[in-house]
Chains A and B, each alone.
Chain A
Amino acid sequence: MELEVKDLTKHFPVYERGVILKRKLGDLHAVDRVSFGIRKNETMGLVGESGCGKTTIAKCVLYLEPPSSGEVIFEGKNITQIFKKANRAQVLALRRQMQYIFQNPYASLDPRMTVADIIMEPFEVHRHIPRDQWVNRMYELLRMVGLEKYHAERYPHEFSGGQRQRICIARALAVNPKFIAADEPVASLDVSVRAQILNLLQELQQKLGITYLYISHDLSTVRHICHRVAVMYLGKIVELAETDELFDNPLHPYTVALMSAIPVPDPKLKRHRIILPGEVPSPINPPTGCRFHPRCPRRVDICSKEEPPLIEVQPGHWLACYNPWPPKHVFA
Chain B
Amino acid sequence: MSTNPILRVEGLRTHFYTFAGVVKAVDGVGLYVNKGETLGLVGESGSGKTVTAQSIMRIVPTPGKIVDGNMEFKGKDLRRLTEAEMQRIRGKEIAYIPQDPTTTLDPVYTVGEQLTEVIVKHQHVSKRYALSKAAELLRSVEIPDPHVRINQYPHELSGGTKQRIAIARALSCEPSLIIADEPTTALDVTIQAQILDLLKALREKFDIAVILITHDMGIVADTCDRVTVLYAGQVCETGTADQVFEKPKHPYTEALLSSVPSLALRKQKLSVIPGNVPNLIQPPTGCRFHPRCFYAQQICVDRDPELEAIGDERMVHCHRWRELDLKSAVAS
Contact = CB atoms under 8 A, between A and B. Distances in A.
A288 interface: no
Interface residues of A, number: 44
Decide if the interface of chain A is mainly helix, strand, loop or mixed: helix
B20 interface: no
B315 to A, nearest CB: 18
Contacts of A221: 261
B189 A220 contact: no
B188 A191 contact: no
Interface in A185-203: 190-196, 198-199, 202
B190 A160 contact: no
B299 interface: no
Nearest to B194: A275
Interface string B238-263: 00011001100000000111011111
A49 B189 contact: yes
Interface stretch (A16-24, A149-157, A173-181, A266-274): A266-274
Nearest to A52: B188
A198 B197 CA distance: 30
Contact of A194 (B190, B196, B259, B269): B259
A169 interface: no
Contacts of A244: 266
B192 A220 contact: no
B218 interface: yes
Given A49-B188, A223-B261, A275-B197, A267 B245 contact: yes
Contacts of B246: 268
Given A263-B219, A266-B245, A191 B260 contact: yes
24 contacts: A50-B188, A160-B276, A191-B216, A191-B259, A192-B256, A192-B272, A219-B263, A220-B262, A223-B261, A223-B263, A224-B270, A243-B266, A257-B190, A258-B190, A262-B263, A263-B218, A265-B257, A266-B221, A266-B331, A266-B332, A267-B222, A267-B245, A268-B242, A273-B197
Interface of A: 49-50, 160, 162-163, 190-196, 198-199, 202, 217-221, 223-224, 243-244, 247, 257-269, 273, 275-276, 279-280, 332
